[in-house]
């Protein structure tokens, strides 16, 4: 852009010079010829005219060039989309503030889930949101000319005027404004923004470190919830370092397919037959197990969840197939689907693409998704789930009862099975309210004609309560802890179940009672 601008100014100056020079020569010579007849005087005037022309044009060109340079310098510090200052300006201005020793607050504003908004609503809508946020920040900031857009959805504000109390109050007011939905390019888009705040010199003695502290603060804010404001504390840096290390290791694990799959059996307690197994993802980092609750959200955030889903589906099908268990001793394997699979067309395509690779095995696959993830994107989910069903797979709703689904919308989905969440199983029997909820879910699912599984069954009393009230398919530590496929084959008690020769169905005992959870 600046090269084109410089070329434009150079061309303009050349044209001005050509026109001015031609007019000066023609008119000045004509006037001299008409008025001056003395040859010696004519020569002296011509010399003076030449010096005057050179001096005048040099002066004009100096002012034109300075004007062009000032314009280029101004544009080099301005963000084209929003009209705010840009990253280069922010880096230079921040460094100058630190060198001056003045105390100031540096506030970062990031739009929550901006990548998702761009992917789902389009970049034009995303740009409209950025411009809208820029206008809000101009209205809010004590010094509107001290705002910069330093990245895609990243804004920073330098505040040299407010004290801590004033800044905290004004940020809270801004947060309320940012939570309101707006119509962008004929689309109503709910959006919010998170904020991080650091202070010089209280939090850091250099601008470089201040920016690092700001990154840690923003990371902390975004982990809390949408629309949060976070103020820097020293522990955040250590957390950010750990997060960066984990992300790097996660990329390497995906590239090297380092994940393992363990299987937890689902048992029909009336017949002691294994009806299926849930595939559970496991990952060890330097021989230490990393909980899925820690790395799965991170994988979703950095865009690795599609690759991880592909790894789990591929390993589960091939492992059970090679062991001769898929579709026989284990009639169905349940594979969890991330909520991200319903967010964008590309994510949905990734799921359908890997499912197509295993078209022959899909009748033995049951895809599990949480109630909340389905209902948040029910129309998109309906399209994807119908495609999976047409390919032969079955569908299960996990964590049922923990979301806020509309039963009217839920019944539109091609669901084969509902799982009662372990949160409802934990306190039964003995918790009257919990017992009512479980009995209500059982009755409702039976009325809908769907299969029902209770997960998290750990005691005989829980199993007995569930069986007595119509839920006979259980999953939990009482029967089997999650185990790799090699352990499924090497465990005599487990093989006894897989061979459909279980113990007395009237009394359920743990087949892994002496083993620690995996």
Segment 326-351, tens digit of pLDDT: 888 889 999 998 888 777 777 888 88
Radius of gyration of the chain (CA): 35
CA-CA distance, 150 to 135, in Å (whole number)?
A: 16
* pLDDT confidence band for 504 (50 / 70 / 90): very low
pLDDT given for residue 24 in this prediction: 65
Q: 190 with 91, same domain? A: yes
With residue 416 as reference, give the H or E element that holds it: none
Domain boundary among 210, 233, 256: 233
Domain that holds residue 16: 2-76
Q: 172-186, 340-354, 392-406, 428-442: which has the minimum mean pLDDT?
A: 172-186
Please say whether the beta carbons of 477 and 510 come within 8 A.
yes
Q: pLDDT tens, 81-140?
A: 888 888 888 998 999 988 888 889 899 998 888 887 887 778 888 888 888 888 888 888
The domain boundary, picked from 175, 206, 233, lies at: 233
Residue 468 lies in a domain: yes
Report pLDDT for 491: 61
> If you average pLDDT over residues 183-193, what whole number do you get?
66
Instruction: Answer yes or no: do 139 and 175 share one domain.
Output: yes
Which has more pLDDT, 437 or 29? Answer: 437
Least confident of 28-32, 136-140, 438-442: 28-32
pLDDT at 517 over 50: no
Of the two residues 249 and 411, the one the predictor is more confident about is 249
| Residue 123: inside a domain | yes
Q: Give the mean pLDDT of 490-516.
A: 47
Q: What is the pLDDT of residue 230?
A: 84
266 lies in some domain? no
User: Among 462, 460, 469, 465, which residue's Cα sits nearest to residue 504?
Assistant: 460
Q: Clarify whether residues 152 and 203 are in a common domain.
A: yes
Check whether residue 181 and residue 226 sit in a common domain: yes
User: Do 97 and 225 belong to one domain?
Assistant: yes
pLDDT, mean of residues 199-205 = 82
Altogether, the residues listed in the chain come to a count of 518
Residue 117, pLDDT score? 82
| Confidence (pLDDT) at 465 | 95
Q: Which of the two residues, 221 and 509, has the higher pLDDT score?
A: 221
What number is the average pLDDT over the span 445-450? 89
> Is there a domain that residue 314 lies in?
no
Beta partners for residue 278, in sequence order: 264, 334
| Residue 32: band (very low, low, confident or very high) from pLDDT cuts 50, 70, 90 | low
CATH of the domain at 210: 3.30.70.270
Last residue of a domain, one of 183, 211, 233: 233
Q: Could you give the CA distance from residue 331 to residue 352 in angstroms, rounded to a whole number?
A: 22
Three-state secondary structure along 145-167? HHEEECCCCEEEEEECCCCHHHH
Q: Are residues 216 and 111 in the same domain?
A: yes
Secondary structure string (H, E, C) spanning 249-318: HHHHHHHHCCCEEEEEEEEECCCCEEEEEEEEEECEECCEECCHHHHHHHHHHHCCHHHHHHHHHHHHHH
Question: What are the residues whose beta carbons fall under 8 Å from the beta carbon of 402, sequence distance 6 or more?
Answer: 370, 371, 372, 421, 423
According to the model, what pLDDT value does residue 21 have?
A: 66
Overall domain count for the chain: 3
Q: In whole angstroms, what is the distance from residue 433 CA to residue 289 CA?
A: 36
Within this chain, do residues 104 and 183 fall inside the same structural domain, yes or no?
A: yes
Say if pTM beats, i.e. exceeds, 0.85: no
Question: So what's the pLDDT on residue 506?
Answer: 37
Exposed/middle/buried for residue 509 (C-beta within 10 Å: 0-12, 13-18, 19+): exposed
State whether 72 and 92 are in the same domain.
no
Give 502's pLDDT tier (boundaries 50, 70, 90).
Answer: very low
Alpha carbon dihedral 238, 241, 247, 248, in 10-degree steps, equals -150
194 lies in a domain? Answer: yes
pLDDT at 507: 40
Q: What is the pLDDT of residues 277-291, one digit of tens each?
A: 999 999 988 888 888
Q: What is the pLDDT of residue 6?
A: 56
Same domain, 71 and 93: no
Q: Which residue has the higher pLDDT, 189 or 327?
A: 327
pLDDT at 514 over 60: no
The pLDDT score that the predictor gives to residue 68 is: 62
What span, in angstroms and rounded, lies between the C-alpha atoms of 380 and 341? 10
| Predicted pLDDT at 512 | 38
Q: Is residue 175 part of a domain?
A: yes
pLDDT confidence band for 498 (50 / 70 / 90): low
Helix, strand, coil percentages for the chain (3-state, nearest 5): 55, 20, 25
pLDDT at 500 over 50: no
Same structural domain, 7 and 63: yes
% of the chain residues with pLDDT over 70: 77
pLDDT at 320: 92
What pLDDT is attached to residue 510?
Answer: 40
User: Is 129 found in the same domain as 33?
Assistant: no
Checking if the pLDDT of 312 tops 70, the result is yes
Mean pLDDT of 398-424: 77
- Residue 29 included in any domain: yes
Are 102 and 183 contained in the same domain?
A: yes
State residue 155's pLDDT score. 93
Query: Which of the pair, 97 or 244, is modelled with greater confidence?
Result: 97
Domain presence at residue 457: yes
pLDDT in tens, 210-239: 888 888 888 888 877 777 888 877 666 666
Predicted confidence at residue 505, as pLDDT, reads 36
pLDDT of residue 116: 79
| Span 485-511, average pLDDT | 55
Tell me which of 9-18, 248-257, 264-273, 456-465 is least confident: 9-18
Nearest to 210 by CA among 134, 152, 154, 158: 158
What's the pLDDT at 457? 94
């Amino acid at each position: 852009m600046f090269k084109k601008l410089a070329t434009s100014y150079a061309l303009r100056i050349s044209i001005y010079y050509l026109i001015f020079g031609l007019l000066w020569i023609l008119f000045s010579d004509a006037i001299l010829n008409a008025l001056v007849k003395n040859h010696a005087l004519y020569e002296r005037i011509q010399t003076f005219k030449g010096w005057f022309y050179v001096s005048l044009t040099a002066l004009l060109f100096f002012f034109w060039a300075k004007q062009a340079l000032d314009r280029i310098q101004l544009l080099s510090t301005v963000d084209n989309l929003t009209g705010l200052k840009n990253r280069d300006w922010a880096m230079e201005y921040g460094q100058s503030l630190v060198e001056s020793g003045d105390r100031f607050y540096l506030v970062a504003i990031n739009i929550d889930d901006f990548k998702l908004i761009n992917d789902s609503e389009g970049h034009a809508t995303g740009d409209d949101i950025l411009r809208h946020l820029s206008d809000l920040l101009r209205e809010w900031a004590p010094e509107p000319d001290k705002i910069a857009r330093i990245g895609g959805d990243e804004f920073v504000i330098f505040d040299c005027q407010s004290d801590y109390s004033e800044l905290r109050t004004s940020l809270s007011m801004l947060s309320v404004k940012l939570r309101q939905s707006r119509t962008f390019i004929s689309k109503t888009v709910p959006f919010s923004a998170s904020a991080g705040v650091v202070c010089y010199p209280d939090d850091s003695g250099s601008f470089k470190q201040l920016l690092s502290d700001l990154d840690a603060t923003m990371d902390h804010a975004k982990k809390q919830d949408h629309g949060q404001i976070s103020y820097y504390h020293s522990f955040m840096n250590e957390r950010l370092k750990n997060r960066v290390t984990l992300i790097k290791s996660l990329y390497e694990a995906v590239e090297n397919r380092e994940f393992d799959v363990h299987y937890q059996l689902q048992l029909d307690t009336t017949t002691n037959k294994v009806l299926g197994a849930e595939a559970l993802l496991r990952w060890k980092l330097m021989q230490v197990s990393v909980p899925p609750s820690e790395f799965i959200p991170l994988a979703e955030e950095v865009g690795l969840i599609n690759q991880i889903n592909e790894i789990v589906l591929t390993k589960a099908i091939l492992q059970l197939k090679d062991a001769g268990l898929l579709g026989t001793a284990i009639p169905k394997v349940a594979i969890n689907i991330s909520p991200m699979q319903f967010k964008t067309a590309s994510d949905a395509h990734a799921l359908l693409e890997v499912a197509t690779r295993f078209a022959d095995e899909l009748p033995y696959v049951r895809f599990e998704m949480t109630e909340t993830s389905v209902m948040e994107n029910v129309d998109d989910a309906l399209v994807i789930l119908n495609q999976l069903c047409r390919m032969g797979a079955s569908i299960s709703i996990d964590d049922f009862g923990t979301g806020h689904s509309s039963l009217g919308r839920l019944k539109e989905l091609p669901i084969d099975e509902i799982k009662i969440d372990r949160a409802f199983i934990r306190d039964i029997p003995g918790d009257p309210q919990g017992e009512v909820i479980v009995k209500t879910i059982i009755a409702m699912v039976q009325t809908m004609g769907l299969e029902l599984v209770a997960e998290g069954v750990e005691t005989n009393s829980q199993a007995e309560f569930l069986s007595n009230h119509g839920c006979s398919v259980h999953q939990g530590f009482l029967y089997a802890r999650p185990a790799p496929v090699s352990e499924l084959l090497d465990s005599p008690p487990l093989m006894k179940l897989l061979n459909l020769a279980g113990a007395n169905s009237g009394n359920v005992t743990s087949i892994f009672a002496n083993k620690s959870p995996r």
